[in-house]
């Protein structure tokens, strides 16, 4: 969440407080609370949610709201039980308790079933493009404890070639999406832009040249051309893009201090690298091989950072034909 959104959240909270202070606290003839009071509570909730989201993960904020509104809901039900013939006279408990079932359903769905995610970059072209809204299966790799994210109930494991959403190791507030090319214990080598896993070269078939527009900081919108190749990893068949003249990696982009850095060897000229994936970790690469910041640069992804398996494009406002696309 950026600074502008934080300021907007603070503004919403302040405006909500003003509405709350100026509104009537007495039920209207129809039995409802005044519109000003309801909007005041709603804006204050939005403001608090936004501010907390600046400092905490979305899941953590949802959990806080589930607990808070759950307590209010139980207080509200307790008051109704004592006097079932009358309404709850407390506008706070009466109004706020209504949020509990909604927030609880959202929390359960997002935490344990599926989570939406928007593709922010071209690193997974050509399979996924900027603007794709995808669904992430949250139980593909185990039912996990909220926040801590360790596996409670095993339901499956990351497989070679899976497209995985995970928390970025360098910034827990950001989610990344890449393809898992290395599992625990694997030796991953990328030499002269040919991928090898455990000594087995990943065969690739040329499939022509593709071009796409990319919005860059330095030059604005530019047209990029790349060669497309068909690769098969595990049970997955997919296209990757490579740009002629680019090295296997950019040496200046490699972090010097990522965890288990000693497991990797890098050629100084950027022509090759080899990494042994440690236990409990994965090696991730983007399908757009020369336009992806991935495990080549910032290292391995711990299993505790795994969010889920991407499987479906449900919306792209800029290209409606992509709706319903399955993720290979």
Q: Which residues are catalytic?
A: 123, 178
Question: φ, ψ for residue 228 (rounded to 5)?
Answer: -100, 140
Give yes or no for a contact between 118 and 103, defined as CB atoms under 8 angstroms apart.
Answer: no
111, 144, 148, 164, 184 from 155: Cα distances, Å: 15, 10, 18, 15, 18
For residues 163 and 310, the answer to whether their CB atoms sit within 8 Å is yes
Q: Which helix (H) or strand (E) holds 54?
A: helix 35-55
Q: How many helices (H) and strands (E) does the chain have?
A: 6, 17
Q: Cis peptide leading into 295, omega within 30 of 0?
A: no
> Contact at 8 Å (CB) between 146 and 327?
no
């Amino acid at each position: 969440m950026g600074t502008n959104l934080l300021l907007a959240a603070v503004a919403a909270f302040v405006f909500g407080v003003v509405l709350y202070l100026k509104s009537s606290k007495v039920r209207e003839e129809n039995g409802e609370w005044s519109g000003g009071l309801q909007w005041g509570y709603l804006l204050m909730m939005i403001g608090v949610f936004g501010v907390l989201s600046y400092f905490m993960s979305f899941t953590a904020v949802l959990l806080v709201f589930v607990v808070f509104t759950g307590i209010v809901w139980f207080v509200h039900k307790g008051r109704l039980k004592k006097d079932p013939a009358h309404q709850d006279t407390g506008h706070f408990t009466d109004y706020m308790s209504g949020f509990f079932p909604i927030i609880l359903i959202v929390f359960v769905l997002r935490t344990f079933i599926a989570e939406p995610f928007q593709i922010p970059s071209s690193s997974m072209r050509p399979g996924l493009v900027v603007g794709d809204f995808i669904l992430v299966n949250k139980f593909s790799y185990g039912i996990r404890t909220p926040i801590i994210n360790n596996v409670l109930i095993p339901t499956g494991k990351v497989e070679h070639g899976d497209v995985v959403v995970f928390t970025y190791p360098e910034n827990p507030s950001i989610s990344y999406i890449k393809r898992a090319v290395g599992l625990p214990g694997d030796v991953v080598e990328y030499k002269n832009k040919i991928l090898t896993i455990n000594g087995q070269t990943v065969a690739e078939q040329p499939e022509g040249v593709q071009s796409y527009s990319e919005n860059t900081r330095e030059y604005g919108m530019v047209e990029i051309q790349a060669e497309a190749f068909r690769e098969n990893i595990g049970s997955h068949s997919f296209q990757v893009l490579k740009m002629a003249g680019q090295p296997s990696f950019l040496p200046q982009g490699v972090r010097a201090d990522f965890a288990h850095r000693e497991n990797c060897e890098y050629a100084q000229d950027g022509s090759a690298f080899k990494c042994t994936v440690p236990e409990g970790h994965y090696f991730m690469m983007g399908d757009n091989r020369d336009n992806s910041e991935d495990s080549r640069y910032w290292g391995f992804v711990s299993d505790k950072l795994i969010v889920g398996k991407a499987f479906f494009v449900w919306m792209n406002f800029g290209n409606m034909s992509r709706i319903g696309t399955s993720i290979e």
